[in-house]
Amino acid sequence: MFHTNLDPFPENFLWGAASAAYQIEGAWAEDGKGPSIWDTYAQIPGNTFEETNGKVAIDHYHRYKEDVALMKQMGLKAYRFSVAWSRIVPDGEGAVNEAGVAFYEKLVDELLRQGVEPILTLYHWDLPQALQDKYQGWEGRETAAAFERYCRILFERLGKKVTYWVTMNEQNVFTSLGYRWAAHPPGLKDLKRMYAANHIINLANAKAINLFHELVPQGKIGPSFGYGPMYPFSCDPEDVLAAENGEAFNNAWFLDVYCKGEYPKFVYKQLAKVGLAPEVTPEDQALLKQAKPDFLGINYYHGGTAQQNNLQKQSAEKKEFSKVDPYLMQAVAGEFSPEETMFATAENPHLKKTDWGWEIDPVGFRVALRRIQANYDLPIFITENGLGAIDQLTEDKQIHDPYRITYLQEHLVELQKAITDGVELIGYCAWSFTDLLSWLNGYQKRYGFVYVDRDNQNERQLARIPKDSFYWYQEVIRTNGASLTSET
């Protein structure tokens, strides 16, 4: 659909940027913090790029005032960050570490003082190691109970200061990378355990939402999901059906539970046929039905293209796309999984790719938002969107990143088109504010508006240097998005 005129962004639209505790804070064992599964995982040789870890990261723990001052300079309206669970409760379920709570209280106070709305993420992948050791992490129902107690601490201490809260960040990603691809902790390739853990996480999410509505009735809470729309490779009805199957396994399997309180019947039946469906008790069903998010956080990077499975019907014209992708649950040859016979993934010949092979698809952003609005009819908060690239620091200490500006410009215009289509959007948080530690790619893969001068081996002085994109986004915020489509 072509709009002659685009609606303006809402008057109170929250222009923001995002981060995650493990990727920026450092201070991994300071002031009483306990180890997380990522602290442990990154110490095992070969698990991360050039043995990078979050022991120092970009030292946000000690430099948060400097970082917030840069947010103020940019004009940022909102900042999404996560809390390290093991900084609040070192063993995951025991005594509260007051020094850890105090850090986040100071961070929130500084954000508010500088006019930046805090958006607090409760879980961004750094489970306390003690819970992994004691209960097998998310495979144990005890971990869901511990999560609820941890959330209570934050709701009680910060509920009057923080309006927007995110429960889980990209549940689809951390479960698949941790339990399917063995690329994240706990480093498993076990589908039965993946689906079991995913169910426990759903229960934890529901417990947190219910408790929040009890303790912070004036606030808003919801999960953050990594959504990628599925396209059919062609108009062949078999490819269209494959895309429907891919959409069900990749997206509806998670979003139906969040928004409708139940698993989609199609996917659950296919899992049950092969003994992979999670055990759902009547009490579980009641809990999932009761929990209603106030909004959906959506992380968008790219979608996927599905074709009829080449195991069933070979085609020389179709190129199978077998890259391990955290946003796509595609089949692996020889793997015993139901989607293996239902869809295969393919490269989209119409899209360019990033330095890391991720397809660049701004229009898919609009497609995703339209689908989500139609299926779930909740306000949407874009909690992540951005470009990971290799940035070059010039001799005069500047970063010229027109590729990032182009990427964000194209995606934000599609966002504005989605608003004009009728999608209800609260705000947009670019990933990320500063450069940060990539989970598996160290410091070579940079997303930030602010360059941090360090590499995989050398921390240097961790100097903060605004990139060209910093000043571009500053103008976008100043004009409430009008600069995106203004004549130049």
Of 105, 384, 410, 459, catalytic:
384
Can you give the pTM of this predicted structure?
Answer: 0.94
Determine the pLDDT at residue 457. 84
Determine the pLDDT at residue 320. 42
Q: Which residues of the chain have pLDDT under 50?
A: 313-323, 333-334, 488
Query: Would you give the DSSP letter of residue 116?
Result: -
Selection from 432, 488, 481 nearest residue 12 by Cα: 481
Sequence ranges of the domains in the chain: 15-387
Confirm whether 384 is a catalytic residue.
Answer: yes
- Do the Cβ atoms of 171 and 254 come closer than 8 Å? yes
Determine the pLDDT at residue 334. 47
Residues 315-368: tens digit of each pLDDT: 444 444 344 555 665 555 445 566 667 888 889 999 999 988 899 999 999 999
Residue 309 CA to residue 354 CA, distance in Å, equals 26
Residues 194-211: tens digit of each pLDDT: 999 999 999 999 999 999
- Do the Cβ atoms of 276 and 205 come closer than 8 Å? no
59 Ramachandran zone, left/alpha/beta (phi>0; psi -120 to 50): left
Determine the pLDDT at residue 50. 87
Determine the pLDDT at residue 318. 45
Determine the pLDDT at residue 356. 85
- Do the Cβ atoms of 399 and 467 come closer than 8 Å? yes
Q: Which SS3 state, helix, strand or coil, does residue 303 take?
A: coil
Q: Which long-range contacts (CB under 8 A, 24 or more apart) does 258-265 make?
A: 258/202, 258/205, 258/222, 258/223, 258/225, 258/293, 258/296, 259/293, 259/296, 259/375, 259/376, 259/378, 260/376, 261/206, 261/285, 261/288, 261/289, 261/290, 261/291, 261/292, 262/288, 262/289
CATH H-level, domain 15-387: superfamily:
Glycosidases (3.20.20.80)
Question: Letter for the amino acid at 357?
Answer: G
The pair of three-digit structure tokens given for residue 57, joined into one six-digit string:
């990261």
